[in-house]
Structure 1
Amino acid sequence: MRLVPSRTGWDGTREAVMHRSRRGLVMVSDPELLDAVLRLAAAAGCELDRAVDATAARRMWARAPVVLLDADAAAHCARGGLPRRGRVVVAVRGEPPPGVWQQAVAIGAEHVVSLPDAEPWLVAALSETTEEPRGRGPVLGVVGGRGGAGASVLAAAVAVAAVRDGGRALLVDCDPLGGGLDLVLGAEDLDGLRWPGVGVGGGRVPAAALHAALPAPAVRGRGELALLSCDRAADGPGAAAVSAVIDAGRRAGETVVCDLPRHPTDAAAAALAAADLVVLVVPADVRSCAAAARVVAALAGHGSVPRLVVRGPAPGGIDATEVARALGLSLLTTMRPEPGLARALERGAAPGRARGPLAAAARAVLAELGTTAGAGS
């Protein structure tokens, strides 16, 4: 048994068995085709066990999450009496030879793919097999009604709340001019990739590989937090990359929280399209309401109608319901001023401590996200 890391160290216990069970099976005799398949599997983060004949393949046939064969191997396995099963792919170089579909059907193959044309499809299919089946994770977008409204802080607090509840959260910075979400969490010195260093141009990204590459800020709770922040000295992400990252977190059952700019970029538009819920954070003053009205119009242009979070104080005595009425939005929750919050953030403390107005607002947003995502699934 191959040793893999576990929570208590390196051992050969249940974690190793589970890891081993996620390894695919490859039986390909063509050296060039085998090299191509192994290269694509590495890109997908999918580990493969190789079998040289049907006898060796039989030992792994039932438990492998995916089986990759060439045409000769498909015929060999069929003659060897291996049972039909799902997730069998027959790969060929160039045009499929005559009779390959007959061999594929005999072994239960669902696909015959021609390389190199089908390389993107095969990488996506292999990536999917590396992930344990989980429920669909919810996606939240958080936007500020004006600069300094507190949207980034609320986004981070919602992710922290999800972790405190024992879940896994992926916090995605989609605002390249926001200064970097890593500063909000005191994670600017943590190792890990930032935008645009995460080299995903689209397609399917393995969630485990993504998490391994990102900073993981320490947060009290039973869950795990991964952070994808913008680099302060580089451009922000592209739309395809944002879509791929969100999809990875969603497939892994994580709560994906996106901090969005007030004027939607292409990347922000991709996040809005994926979001189950969008919230707009608006301070309770006249100028903030005026600025937020422009943001509401911009979001409407992307088919998004946000829920409203009103943040105090209200220097002129404006009520949260008045803000909601002025903007034509449904009020989700309010947030009173939190003494010491600004000082704690400056010291690098993660927002959303167990108690306080910010944590309460984050929990309200998280609860609404669960309701909205559940209704839409």
Structure 2
Amino acid sequence: MSGANGGEPAAGERRAGPLIITEDVALLDDLLRLCAAAGADPQVHHAVPEERGSWEGAPLVLVGDDAAARCRGATRRRGVLLVGHDQDDPQVWRRAVEIGADCVLRLPDAEGWLVDRIADVAEGVGRPALTVGVIGGRGGAGASTLACALAVTAAREGRRTMLVDGDPLGGGLDVLLGGEQSKGRRWPDFAASRGRVAGGALEESLPSAHGLRVLSWDRGDSVVIPPEAMRSVLAAARRRGGVVVVDLARRVDEGVAEALAQLDLGLLVVPGELRAVAAARRVATTAGMVLGDLRVVVRGPYASGLDEQWVAEALELPLAGELPVEAGLLADLDGGVPPGAVPRGPLARFCSAFWERALADGGAP
């Protein structure tokens, strides 16, 4: 998948694993076990490697307590962790300072944290994805259309993109993309997920369409996604970098609340009608309890006396823009052309301008 992260390995390709320096057999067994759990292939040495660049170039260095003295004088660098078993050794902090360690870890207490850190290395974690949620102010507001268009536009412009369908009662974003028959995993496969989900494995397992990955629903019975599963999946998606777009249900249950908590910003899509504004106010109040950056996208046509500024002021939300009408959108969908796929269309231009502004504000590259 093309991405905005330059020279990153392709999805699923492993990077170099951590450098382990120890002669403590029991500690080495534990560290190898944790590396295996994180999907990393470590290098093991008894002292600082003689090969030029091995110490400096390793993405992470795990120095055993027993090897700290042998690592004195090594080039100072970030990403050095001093690891051991002894919980009561008062000299451990002195040894950590001598080798310039970032922190001291004691096993087994720190195993969970260390697995995550090693997995970050194995996945090549860099800047997290800019994560944008789209939610309708009322039913039929056009939130799914906008979410799909944002994702299609981002992928076309070369960004690593994942589209997440967070509305189990919607029609399915894979259908909007024309990928309902594509092979890959759907939400029911992740409903029992707990803890860490590998970002690369998630990306590779999902259906691909129009240059992006999509996590949607199957055609079976509706499945409730527990907040733990939503947290694990979105955290994995964010670690891959690029952009993540989440289409959210208007009813904020525990799973939707967890998704809102992981967003960088949210877009509330509101038609220019009084009843829609009244309904959107309730959605905005609920979502705003979790999400700090919620903006409104207004869609015409407008009721008499209303415009996009009036709607934004009535909702007391920043205006992200006016969603343009795209002639022929329904015909395009019937023909297998998803929203945002026409580069010069008004919807694609709106999305392109949105990404330019959002990324300039400090989002992911």
Query: 2:20 aligns to what?
Result: 26
1:46-85 counterparts in 2 under 5 A? 46-52=40-46, 54=48, 60-78=54-72, 82-85=74-77
Equivalent residues of 2:15, 2:122 under 8 A apart: no
Corresponding residue pairs, total: 355
Report the CA distance between 1:233 and its aligned residue: 3.6
1:234 and 1:46 map into 2 onto residues whose CA distance is: 36
Residue 302 of structure 1: aligned partner: 290
Quick check: 146-155 or 64-73, which moved more?
A: 64-73
Corresponding position of 1:37: 31
Q: Which residue of 2 aligns with 1:362?
A: 351
Q: Conserved in 2, the CA contact under 8 Å of 1:284 and 1:312? A: yes
Q: CA deviation at 1:144?
A: 0.6
1:10 corresponds in structure 2 to none
SS in 1 for 2:186: coil
Match of 2:157 in 1: 165
Q: Give SS of 2:168's match.
A: coil
Distance in 1 (alpha carbons) for counterparts of 2:262 and 2:9:
33
The answer (yes or no) to whether the contact 1:277–1:372 under 8 Å persists in 2 is no
Structure 2: how far apart are the matches of 1:138 and 1:250? Answer: 7
What is the letter of the counterpart of residue 278 of structure 2? A
Distance in 2 (CA, whole Å) between partners of 1:69 and 1:86 is 13
Query: Is the counterpart of residue 255 in structure 1 residue 243 in structure 2?
Result: yes
**In the aligned structure 1, how far is the partner of 2:251 from the partner of 2:9?**
45
Percent sequence identity over aligned pairs: 42
RMSD of the TM alignment (CA)? 3.7
TM-score by length of 1: 0.78
Aligned-partner Cα distance in 2 for 1:130–1:325: 47
Confirm or deny that 1:197 pairs with 2:189. Answer: yes
Could you tell me which runs of 5 or more consecutive residues in structure 2 were left unpaired when the two chains were aligned: 3-7
State how far apart, in whole Å, the 1-side matches of 2:9 and 2:320 are.
42
Supply the distance in 2 between the matched residues of 1:367 and 1:59 (Cα, whole angstroms). 38
Query: Please, which moves more after superposition, 317-326 or 42-51?
Result: 317-326
Alignment partner for residue 177 of structure 2, among 185, 191, 202? 185
The one-letter code of the counterpart of 1:153 is: T
SS in 1 for 2:208: coil
Question: 8 Å contact 1:70–1:92 — kept in the other structure?
Answer: yes
SS of equivalent to 1:139: strand
The alignment partner of 1:210 has SS state of helix
Q: 1:147-203: per-residue Cα shift (whole Å, max 9, x none)?
A: 222101201111111122222222222223224322222222333333353465356
Q: CA deviation at 1:83?
A: 4.2
User: Which residue of 186, 210, 214 maps to 1:227?
Assistant: 214
Query: What code does the residue aligned with 1:201 have?
Result: R
Give the 3-state SS of the residue equivalent to 1:129 in structure 2. Answer: helix
> Equivalents in 2 of 1:193, 1:94: separation in Å?
43
After TM superposition, the structure 1 stretch with the greater mean CA deviation from structure 2, 100-109 or 38-47, is 100-109
Partners of 1:50 and 1:75 lie apart in 2 by 17
In 2, Cα distance between the equivalents of 1:319 and 1:100?
Answer: 65
Alpha-carbon distance, 1:102 to partner: 4.5
Among candidates 112, 115, 121, match of residue 107 of structure 2? 115
Q: Is the CA contact 1:313–1:336 (under 8 Å) kept in the aligned structure 2?
A: no
Structure number with the bigger relative contact order (C-alpha 8 A, sep ≥ 6) is: 2
Which is worse superposed, 365-374 or 171-180? 365-374
Contact preservation (8 Å) 1:201, 1:240? yes
Shift in Å at residue 279 of structure 1?
A: 1.4
Structure 1 residues 188-233: Cα deviation after superposition (integer angstroms, max 9, x where no partner): 2333333353465356x554343223333233xxxxx232224554
Give CA-to-partner distance per residue, 1:259-283, whole Å, 9 cap, x none: 1111222232233334333211123
User: Which amino acid in structure 2 is aligned with residue 263 of structure 1?
Assistant: R
> Contact 1:51–1:57 (CA<8 Å) still a contact in 2?
no
Q: Deviations over 1:323-354 (max 9, x none)?
A: 44544444433334433323433454332121
Provide structure 1 residue ranges, at least 5 long, that are not aligned to the other structure.
1-5, 8-13, 220-224
Deviations 1:227-260 (A, max 9, x none): 2224554534343444454445545441221211
Paired amino acid for 1:367: E
Match of 1:283 in 2: 271
Question: Could you tell me how far apart the structure 1 residues matched to 2:18 and 2:31 are?
Answer: 12
- Contact 1:170-1:257 at 8 Å conserved across structures: yes
Q: For 2:320 and 2:289, how far apart are their aligned partners in 1?
A: 22
Tell me the distance in 1 between the aligned counterparts of 2:83 and 2:336.
Answer: 51
The letter for the 2-side match of 1:65 is: P
For residues 175 and 106 of structure 2, what CA distance do their matches in structure 1 show?
A: 47
| Deviation, structure 1 residue 122 | 0.2
Given the alignment of the two structures, is residue 338 of structure 1 paired with residue 332 of structure 2, yes or no? no
Which residue, out of 101, 108, 120, partners 1:128?
Answer: 120
How far apart, in 1, do the equivalents of 2:183 and 2:86 lie? Answer: 42
Matched, 1:143 2:135: yes
Contact 2:268-2:297 at 8 Å conserved across structures: yes
- CA distance 1:90–1:332, change in 2 (3 Å): closer
Q: Distance in 2 between matches of 1:54 and 1:186?
A: 54
Contact 1:96 1:114 in 2 (8 A): no
